[in-house]
Amino acid sequence: MAAIKAKPFAFPAKTDELALIVIDMQRDFAEPGGFGASLGNDVSRITKIVPDVKRLIEGFRGAGLPVIHTMECHKPDLSDLPPAKRDRGNPVLRIGDEGPMGRILISGEPGTAILSELAPVDGEIVIEKPGKGAFYATELGDVLKERGIKQLVFAGVTTEVCVQTTMREANDRGYECLLAEEATESYFPEFKAAAIAMIRAQGGIVGWTARIDDILEGIARV
C-alpha cells in the first residue's frame, strides 16, 4: 500500500485493487459540431485537459494498472433514451438527431467516439452507458467485481455531471474514489470548483481529490 497525497487526507492506494476510470472523453463533448457545442458550450475547456488525461492514462498503463473508459451513448432505435432526457430544453440538436459527426450520442457514430489521443488500447474495457452515472444499466459493477477492484481513480467530463454522478454511485457501492483534479473539467469553471468541494467535504463524504503528479508518484510506489 502507498499513501497518495490528497485532500482531505492521504489516499491509501492498493495496487491490486486500483483502476482508472476515464469518463466520456468523446468527440461529441469536446469538438466543434458536437453535442456540447450545440448546447452553446465552450468545448475548448474540454480539449485543454486532454494532455493531462493522456499523462494519467499512460501512467496507469506503465504501472500495469487497469484503465476503463466510458462513453455516454444510446441505441440507434433510442429505446434506452427516456423522453425526459431527449426533450429537455431547446437545443439546436437533440440526442439522436443527425449532426456534423453523425447522429448525436448514438452508439457507433463518429461523434460518439473517444478522442483519438485518448483512445483505448487492446485489452482496455469500454463501457457504453445510457445515463450520467456509469453504473446505471451497464456491466461496470460486474467488471469491477470480477477483477477485485475496490479503489477507483477518476478523470473525464463533466466534473459536476457524469464524473460526480459516477463517483457517488461508486461511493454508495463501497468503492474508495479519488478524483484527478487537472484531468477533469466542466463547461462552467464554478461548477467544477463546487463539485470538487462537495466530493471532499466532511472528511471525504464522496471521496478524495489529488493532483496528477501526486497520483503518478503514488502508483509508481505501490
Rounded CA gap, 160 and 164, in Å?
5
What are the distances in angstroms from CA 135 to CA 12, 100, 144?
23, 30, 11
Residue 162 among the catalytic residues: yes
Rounded CA gap, 98 and 106, in Å?
10
Catalytic pick from 24, 28, 52, 214?
A: 24
* Cell representation of residue 63: 504501472
Residue 172 among the catalytic residues: no
Catalytic pick from 28, 52, 73, 129?
A: 129
Residue 42 among the catalytic residues: no
Q: Rounded to 10 degrees, what is the CA torsion of 75, 81, 86, 87?
A: 140
* Cell representation of residue 86: 431527449
Q: How much is the CA Rg of the chain, to the nearest whole Å?
A: 17
Give the residue numbers annotated as catalytic, written as ranges. Answer: 24, 129, 162
